[in-house]
Structure 1
């Protein structure tokens, strides 16, 4: 099978596409014939040894895939050969076949094609957990989404609206803000040209927002905390800016707001039944046409370096998905 291989930690251009052997699944594992692979920010970190997961090279990056069960190991039930699935692999997904622990695999609706499914799990799974379990977002509350043009940002805009919130989308270009408006944002602001705190205060009549969804980090984080209302919740989702912020702790004291961590991987491991219920809700919304994942580009497996570089440089609106289908 073909796979994108990281032979040594380094930038995307050092990756190669090679033929490697695909071993059979062991006990408690399944082998998946991969249709497509989502490209996510952690993939840009794992190839440089900067992520919390540090596989020893050589390895294939890729933490999110869609495909069909090709073989089942001993002790696995409920995942028959041929079943369409999604899987969170951690790494190894940029390949034509992957073997993964059965608990990391979830059946997907037959109506959801592989391209959409490959870009669905991480963005929507993270976001529904953040907004429902961690923030307890309520109808009528105001949600501020930072990085609203990226994959998780657009998912937060969509899900915020589905949950009944008023959504303010913040991003760094007119094109990204247009995408956020198309996803349902009520208001938008460009934080490269507008002061975030002051603009948010204007949009909320001086009150501030109830929930902040922040996958960006950096200097925006403190500004967003300053723009929260009393009893606000600030969701720490990630650090796409590359800068892990520090916060003067008198701010949450004076504002009586909560800084809330979001670690979807730990949630999946500790509360799998709740995660499954989240996904049933997401699948139902998608089947009803109430979620519209934005896949900006579909590229062949061999163009993984280009995809990762575009993501690292924040040149992507929505998601990039790699396909394993024959390259024409």
Structure 2
């Protein structure tokens, strides 16, 4: 990856041009740069799926004006000083948050709000188990579940992350050591959890199924551990539990109206006091180092690039 000059942005007729003040760094960006993502791009290309900043230009009738503070899922090209995105992908940045905090909401918080509200139909008073709780998805999963009135158990793989995860306000923090699944069941007085959030995959998946209560739902968010688990479906039948896929990007391609539902729901939670933890900030020129830190597992919460 190199930091270099590129031609000025030339927007399509339906695109809004944004002066980028913060670009989010997410796990799909890392996979994309490795050629390991579902979308394959031939270099050279500019990665970056999340941006926040101010409108520099907007088409008539778009509803946006120069100077508006906005956030957008850009797909690619967000690691830049300026980006052009479809007007339908743009939303107002919450006034309670700065640009780096606002961009933190995009991929991870949008995905988890969609996962809870649309896929799992999470109800107040239910119990949620979050795997990978120190990462960007895990952070969002804890905070949104708490804001929606759920009880949260956070499973922690990295001992160094315990203090950070505890600061997010879960009701219990359980290390992913031998016997952790039984510890989860003990924390629920043997009942089990109603929802499992799994952005990790790999070995913890089987144990996570064992923690589920009757009518439990396991949300498959991703496979950060690298391994894609399998399951014998008779286990689902006997336990009366379900496994639900969460592919937010694909869902909104088919149902674009969902973007407004998610943005409105998140804005209400932010207005009610939910705020992402302080992001880890890097200069845009050091995007390569930021991605390496993410790859090395050295990030708690969200990475953000600032031009």
Q: Distance in 2 between matches of 1:197 and 1:67?
A: 43
Q: What is the deviation of 1:254?
A: 1.5
Deviations, residues 203-259 of structure 1 (Å, cap 9, x unaligned):
122221111011111111111012111111000011111211112222212211110
| CA distance in 2: counterparts of 1:158 and 1:295, whole angstroms | 13
Secondary structure of the structure 1 residue equivalent to 2:257 = helix
* Stretch of structure 1 that moved more, 101-110 or 89-98: 101-110
Q: Which residue is 1:21 aligned to? A: 7
Q: Could you tell me which of 186, 203, 206 is aligned with 1:202?
A: 186
Find the partner of 1:259 among 240, 243, 257.
243
Question: 1:30 and 2:16 equivalent?
Answer: yes
Q: Displacement, 1:110?
A: 3.6
Cα–Cα, structure 1 residues 273 and 151, in superposed 2: closer, same or farther, change >3 Å? same
User: What residue number does 1:127 align with?
Assistant: 112
Match of 2:210 in 1: 226
Pick the aligned partner of 1:150 from 128, 135, 153.
Answer: 135
Q: CA deviation at 1:279?
A: 1.7
Question: Does residue 1:319 correspond to 2:297, yes or no?
Answer: no
Q: Structure 1 residue 137 and structure 2 residue 134: aligned?
A: no
Gapped regions of structure 1 (runs ≥ 5):
1-14
Task: For residue 164 of structure 1, report the CA deviation from its aligned partner.
Answer: 1.6
| Counterparts of residues 38-187 of structure 1 (less than 5 Å) | 38-73=24-59, 77-187=62-172
2 CA distance for matches of 1:321 and 1:209? 33
Q: Could you tell me how far 1:76 is from its partner in structure 2?
A: 5.0
SS at match of 1:230: strand
User: Separation in 2 of the partners of 1:221 and 1:310?
Assistant: 25
* Kept in 2: contact 1:167–1:185 (CA 8 A): yes
2:173 paired residue number: 188
- 8 Å Cα contact 1:213/1:237 also seen in 2: yes
Residues 263-314 of structure 1: CA distance to partner in whole angstroms, max 9, x if unpaired?
11123233333431322232232234x2121234211011111111111122
Aligned partner of residue 137 in structure 1, secondary structure: coil
Task: Kindly tell me the number of residue pairs found equivalent between the two proteins.
Answer: 307
CA RMSD of the aligned region, Å?
A: 1.6
Instruction: Please give the alpha-carbon distance, in whole angstroms, between the structure 2 residues aligned to 1:260 and 1:201.
Output: 21
Give the Cα–Cα distance (whole angstroms) in 1 for the partners of residues 121 and 109 of structure 2: 16
- Structure 1 CA distance for aligned equivalents of residues 193 and 256 of structure 2: 31
Aligned counterpart for 1:286 among listed residues 270, 288, 304: 270
TM-score by length of 1: 0.89
Change (3 A) 1:76 1:91: farther
In structure 2, how many angstroms separate the alpha carbons of the residues matched to 1:131 and 1:145?
A: 12
* Gap regions ≥5 residues in structure 2: none
Is contact 1:169-1:177 (8 Å) kept? no
TM-score by length of structure 2 reads 0.95
Matched, 1:300 2:283: yes
- Kindly tell me: are residues 55 and 101 of structure 1, through their superposed partners in 2, closer, same or farther at Cα, counting changes over 3 Å? farther
